[in-house]
Amino acid sequence: MGFPQRRTIVLAVLVTLATYALLLPAWMQWRGAYGRGVAAAATAVVLPLLDVEGGVSSEASASVATVYTLRYARTGGWGRVNQRLLNVPDLPLVLAGAVGAVFIPWRRRAILAVAGTVVVFLIHLGLIGTTALRLAAPLLDPALDPSRLDDLLYQRAEQIGAYRDVAPVVVLSVVALLSWALSRPSRRVH
């Protein structure tokens, strides 16, 4: 059926885990910068596309917090909502998965790493855009009671934030699909 042999599988899992362990300390240093990059892209591109007034920022301390600043109709000012959506291991995991895909050649693994990173970045942008859209609706409703508004904002931020629980599965699915696409038989004559 073309599935890798057991030795290759053990090697793939070990290489993935070892690479992930090596990348993790660097990721802990750089995750804030990545979060700020995603937030900036969301503010510059995604929110205007969705016609949502406001912006997104990212703060990294003990964890990565995504902060939504959106128009609040009741006061005419801005409402701020915090979320831990980007506190996820996606980027080091996609890179580790690409390095660990030992059943495809290095050049294709490099392509896998780049393509996987782009897909993960787009997923994060999509999740931030969806959150912003879902948070903006109650904030723009001036008739909504403030305590009900608090509940709604918390619920909606947490609903999308549940992505954190399935993030490794999503990332590994992306790696699997891209590995499949990149493992086509070579047309080169050896």
Partner 1 sequence: MVKSPPSSRRVILTYILIVVVSYPVLNWVLGGSGPIPWVNGAIDALTRSQALVSAGMLRVLGEPVRVRGTLLAGSGFVCNVAQGCNGMSAVTLLLAGLMGYPTAWRRRLLGLAALVPAILVVNMVRIAGLYWSGVHHRERFVDMHVYVGQVFVIVLTVGLWLAWLSWVSRRDEP
Least spacing, CB of residue 90 vs partner 1, in Å:
10
Reduced to 3 DSSP states, what percent helix, strand and coil does the chain have, rounded to the nearest 5? Answer: 65, 10, 25
* Residues 86, 47: Cα–Cα separation, whole Å: 17
Both tokens of residue 132?
Answer: 């912003």
CB of 183 to partner 1, least distance (A): 4
CB of 9 to partner 1, least distance (A): 4
| Least distance (Å) between residue 13 CB and partner 1 | 4
Q: How far apart are CA 122 and CA 133, in angstroms?
A: 16
Whole-angstrom Cα distance, residue 88 to residue 11? 25
Distance between CA atoms of 137 and 153, rounded to whole angstroms? Answer: 10
Amino acid at 23: L
Question: Is residue 100 within 8 Å of 12, Cβ to Cβ?
Answer: yes
Nearest distance in Å: CB 1, partner 1: 4
Name which of 81 and 171 has its Cβ closer to partner 1: 171
Q: Which is nearer to partner 1, 147 or 184 (CB)?
A: 184
Where does this chain bind partner 1 (CB under 8 A)? 1-6, 9-10, 12-13, 16-17, 20, 24, 27-28, 62-63, 87-89, 92-93, 103-105, 162, 164-166, 168-169, 172-173, 176-177, 180, 183-186
Nearer to partner 1, 108 or 156 (CB): 108
Q: Which residue number, 16 or 83, has a Cβ lying nearer to partner 1?
A: 16
Cβ closest to partner 1, residue 152 vs residue 175 = 175
* Chain position carrying tokens 């979320």: 83
